[in-house]
Amino acid sequence: MTSSGDRKGAVGDGETVFAGKRCLVTGGLGFIGSNLALALNNLGAQVTVIDACAPHHGGSVHNLSEDGGEPDPNIAVITADIAEVSDPTVRRAAVGAEYIFNLAGEVSHVDSMTDPLAALNSNTTSHFAFLELLRNENTDVVVVYTSTRQVFGRPRYLPVDEDHPIAPVDVNAITKFATEQLHLLYNEVYGLRSTVIRATNIFGPRQRLREHAHGFLPTFVRQALQDEALVVFGDGLQERDCLYVDDVVDCLLLAASIEDAPGELFVIGNDEHLTLRAIAESIVDAAGSGRVEFGPWPADRDAIDIGSYFGDSSKAKRMLGWQPRTFFDEAIKHTISFYRARYAWYL
């Protein structure tokens, strides 16, 4: 188990690449963003995070605590929407960055269906404004954007690779697809070095567990920790390839480091495929609390369910040298311990 504290050396020559570099993480108080910001900090980077702290998105300064104490003082925090490009603080951070990990956005599929215009604003309009700023004032920057496997919709074949047809099944996916394509277009047309990562179900420390949790994984973790029923919708035989957040952070760092990555899009998933039922059982085992129950799909989720999904990471392995290193049973124990130790912040 790699905690962000002992990541040094985990990512090839990551320490050399990022040491002393000005790295900006948008959405950097959120789940993946905060884990990434801590990792960059440990690699010696000068880290700034921008986060709009939108309600229900899960962004919190507590996420920037390495050990459960105060947030790391070496990481600069700007509370703003990335769309506020005329805000001098946002502008300075964006224009001065050598690396931008662009993770800001809506994270809830269900919320995106309830309020499509809000999702469009968070996931697309903000990024259009932000990329315009970069196009005009910082084309030397390296950008990595995190998209979602939801852009594929119901898989036509498994595992899903980069050539799989696009059929977004929710507003979140529609709006994130527009933004990932804008990143690739700006790479092609304006030379902005952008790479897109389409990731799958991610879990681990620093994820929002409360109401409006994003997806079944944090919901299950919360239910187990609170000794409640983990309700598996349907027969629970749909397969998923859950990715531990440290593996995602590794991939983002590699994508920013590898010279051939800009202009490319990568699907990443885990080589380990588990049924939803097995995932729920594993979480209950790790927690020593909660129980697995089965129930029908709620109407608002049924419409966006996609069946089994797992990704083909061959391209990321080949071009980025990335490899998922974490098995679910092991990682979920670490995850449960993390939340038990910081119960008041996350539950």
Cα–Cα dist 13/110, whole Å: 39
Strands 46-51 and 22-26: parallel
Sequence-ordered list of residues with C-beta below 8 angstroms from that of 27, at least 6 positions apart, any chain: 33, 49, 50, 51, 57, 59, 102, 103, 104, 105
* Beta carbon of residue 161, minimum distance to its own copies (angstroms, whole number): 12
* Beta carbon of residue 109, minimum distance to its own copies (angstroms, whole number): 12
Instruction: Say if residues 7 and 38 touch (Cβ distance below 8 Å).
Output: no
| Residue 166 or 237 with smaller CB distance to its own copies | 166
Six-digit token pair at 107? 């994270």
Interaction site with its own copies (CB under 8 A): 113, 116-117, 120, 124-125, 128-129, 131-132, 163, 165-166, 168-171, 174-175, 177-178, 181-182, 185, 188-189, 303-304
* Beta carbon of residue 126, minimum distance to its own copies (angstroms, whole number): 10
| Residue 190 or 343 with smaller CB distance to its own copies | 190
Q: Which residues of 301-339 are buried (b: 16+ CB within 10 A; e: fewer)?
A: eeebebeebbbbbebbeebbebebebebeebbbbbbebb
Burial (CB count <10 Å: 0-12, 13-18, 19+), residue 235: exposed
| Residue 1 or 129 with smaller CB distance to its own copies | 129
* Beta carbon of residue 104, minimum distance to its own copies (angstroms, whole number): 16
* Beta carbon of residue 118, minimum distance to its own copies (angstroms, whole number): 10
* Beta carbon of residue 304, minimum distance to its own copies (angstroms, whole number): 7
| Residue 242 or 304 with smaller CB distance to its own copies | 304
Cα–Cα dist 111/298, whole Å: 15
| Residue 52 or 217 with smaller CB distance to its own copies | 52
* Beta carbon of residue 80, minimum distance to its own copies (angstroms, whole number): 18
Instruction: Say if residues 135 and 118 touch (Cβ distance below 8 Å).
Output: no
Strands 274-275 and 239-240: antiparallel
| Residue 256 or 304 with smaller CB distance to its own copies | 304
| Residue 183 or 214 with smaller CB distance to its own copies | 183
DSSP 265: E
